[in-house]
C-alpha cells in the first residue's frame, strides 16, 4: 500500500507565526534596551558635566586670585638654580616675588634634585589644589609671595577645588597626579593658551609616544580646554570641532562621547549606535530562530541525499 503523505499546512503556519513573534521580540528588545540604559547613561554624563562646571569655577577663582589661568605646561625644578627662562616667566606672572633660590621637595622623595615637567592634566591638579600633605590632601599654596610652595606656612591660598584623593592617577609615573573623571577614572585633560594659542605638548597623560594620548588640541574659541574621555575611555585624535555638526566618523568616532567645557553634553550629540543595533539583531530571538531553522533544513537535506 502506498505511503500516505502527512499534511504540512499546520507546520508551515506554525513556522510563520514563530517567525513573526521572533521579529516582534527583536524590535521590542532593540527599542526597550536603549530606553532602559539611556537614563542611567544621562545621569553619568550629568555628573561629569557638573564636575566640569565646578572645575571652570575653580579656574575662575584661581584667575581672580592670581590674575591668570593656570598654565598647562611647566618645567618646574626643585632646586632654584635649574629654572629655565620660560618657567621663570610663567611663575613670575603668578608670583612676581617668587624666590628662585629656594629648594622644595615637590614629589616627597627625600631630595631636591629633580626637575619635573608637568603637562596640562598635572597642572590642573597642582595649581587648583596646591601642595599636598603626607596624606595626599591638597592644602593650597603659602601666601608668602617669596615661597608659595612651602608646606609649613599657616596662611594659605586655596585649594580652589576639592579633589577626591581616591581619584588621583599618575599614568606617566612622574610623581605628579592627574585627576580621573567619574566615568572611567581616565584623567581630565587641560590646556590653556600660551602666546594666544593651544599647544599639543600640553595634552599627554601617558608617556609621549603612547597612542592613547589625545593627539591634537581642539580648534575652539575658548580660553582653556577641559576634556573627559567619556564612557569608552578613549580621547581620540582631536583637531577640528564644529558644535553645529559634531558627529565624528571613522577614526574619530571614539570622540563622540567625549565631554568638554566647550560643548553642551557629549561632543557628538548623536553618537553612532550601529554596533549596538547589530549586536541586538545578531543575538535576537528572530536571528537565533532563523539560524536554527536553516541548520535543521541543511540536516534534512543531507539525510534525504
**Is residue 211 assigned to a domain?**
yes
Summarize the confidence of residues 96-103 as an average pLDDT.
Answer: 90
Structure-block grid coordinates of residue 16 = 510563520
**Is residue 293 assigned to a domain?**
no
DSSP letters along 235-295, please?
Answer: -----B--GGG----GGGGGGGG-EETTSSSBSSSS---HHHHHHHHHTSHHHHHHHHHHH
200 vs 112, residue with greater confidence:
200
pLDDT at 273 over 80: no
Q: What pLDDT, on the 0 to 100 scale, is given for residue 275? A: 41
pLDDT at 16 over 70: no
pLDDT at 48 over 70: yes
**Is residue 269 assigned to a domain?**
no
**Is residue 28 assigned to a domain?**
no
pLDDT at 259 over 50: yes
**Is residue 288 assigned to a domain?**
no
**Is residue 114 assigned to a domain?**
yes
Summarize the confidence of residues 175-186 as an average pLDDT.
Answer: 93
- Is 52:259 a contact under the CB 8 Å cutoff? yes
52 vs 273, residue with greater confidence:
52
pTM of this prediction exceeds 0.85:
no
**Is residue 75 assigned to a domain?**
yes
pLDDT at 304 over 60: no
Q: How far apart are CA 288 and CA 98, in angstroms?
A: 71
For the chain, give the mean pLDDT: 81
Phi and psi based region of residue 194 (left: phi greater than 0; alpha: psi -120 to 50; beta: remaining)? beta
Q: Which domain holds residue 67?
A: 41-260
Query: Which of 228, 252, 227 has the alpha carbon at shortest distance from 239?
Result: 252
- What residues form DSSP beta bridges with 191? 225
- Helix H or strand E segment including 16: helix 9-66
**Is residue 129 assigned to a domain?**
yes
pLDDT class of 280 with cuts at 50, 70, 90: very low
Summarize the confidence of residues 68-75 as an average pLDDT.
Answer: 95
pLDDT tens digits, 225-255: 999 999 999 999 999 998 766 689 899 999 9
By mean pLDDT, which of 21-30, 55-64, 131-140 is the weakest? 21-30
pLDDT at 144 over 80: yes
Q: How many domains does one find in the chain?
A: 1
Q: What pLDDT, on the 0 to 100 scale, is given for residue 112? A: 77
Q: How far apart are CA 275 and CA 279, in angstroms?
A: 6
Query: Which of 32, 111, 126 has the alpha carbon at shortest distance from 73?
Result: 126
Q: What pLDDT, on the 0 to 100 scale, is given for residue 238? A: 95
- Is 160:61 a contact under the CB 8 Å cutoff? yes
Question: What do you get for the CA distance between the two ends of the chain, in Å?
Answer: 24
Q: What pLDDT, on the 0 to 100 scale, is given for residue 136? A: 84
pLDDT class of 299 with cuts at 50, 70, 90: very low
Amino acid at each position: 500500500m502506498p505511503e500516505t503523505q502527512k499534511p504540512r499546512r499546520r507546520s508551515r503556519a506554525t513556522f510563520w507565526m514563530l517567525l513573526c513573534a521572533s521579529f516582534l521580540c527583536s524590535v521590542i528588545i532593540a527599542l526597550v534596551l536603549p530606553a532602559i540604559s539611556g537614563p542611567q547613561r544621562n545621569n553619568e554624563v550629568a555628573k561629569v558635566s557638573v564636575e566640569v562646571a565646578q572645575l571652570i569655577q575653580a579656574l575662575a577663582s584661581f584667575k581672580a586670585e592670581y590674575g591668570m589661568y593656570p598654565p598647562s605646561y611647566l618645567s618646574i625644578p626643585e632646586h632654584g638654580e635649574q629654572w629655565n627662562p620660560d618657567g621663570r616667566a610663567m611663575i613670575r606672572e603668578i608670583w612676581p616675588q617668587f624666590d628662585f633660590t629656594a629648594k622644595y621637595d615637590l614629589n616627597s622623595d627625600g631630595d631636591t634634585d629633580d626637575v619635573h615637567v608637568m603637562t596640562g592634566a598635572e597642572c590642573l591638579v597642582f595649581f587648583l589644589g596646591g601642595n599636598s600633605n603626607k596624606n595626599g590632601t591638597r592644602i593650597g599654596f603659602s601666601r608668602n609671595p617669596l615661597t608659595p610652595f612651602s608646606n609649613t606656612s599657616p596662611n594659605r591660598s586655596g585649594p580652589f577645588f576639592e579633589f577626591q584623593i581616591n581619584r588621583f592617577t599618575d599614568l606617566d609615573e612622574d610623581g605628579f597626579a592627574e585627576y580621573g573623571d567619574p566615568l572611567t577614572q581616565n584623567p581630565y585633560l587641560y590646556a590653556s593658551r600660551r602666546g594666544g594659542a593651544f599647544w599639543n605638548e600640553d595634552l599627554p597623560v601617558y608617556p609621549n609616544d603612547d597612542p592613547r594620548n589625545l593627539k591634537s588640541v581642539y580648534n575652539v574659541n575658548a580660553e582653556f580646554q577641559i576634556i573627559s574621555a567619556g564612557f569608552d575611555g578613549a580621547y581620540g585624535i582631536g583637531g577640528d570641532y564644529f558644535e553645529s555638526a559634531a558627529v565624528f566618523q571613522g577614526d574619530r568616532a571614539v570622540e563622540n562621547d567625549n565631554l568638554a567645557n566647550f560643548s553642551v553634553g557629549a561632543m557628538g550629540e548623536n553618537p553612532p549606535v550601529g554596533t549596538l543595533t547589530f549586536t541586538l539583531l545578531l543575538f535576537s530571538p528572530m536571528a537565533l530562530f532563523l539560524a536554527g531553522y536553516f541548520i535543521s533544513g541543511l540536516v534534512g537535506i543531507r539525510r534525504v541525499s
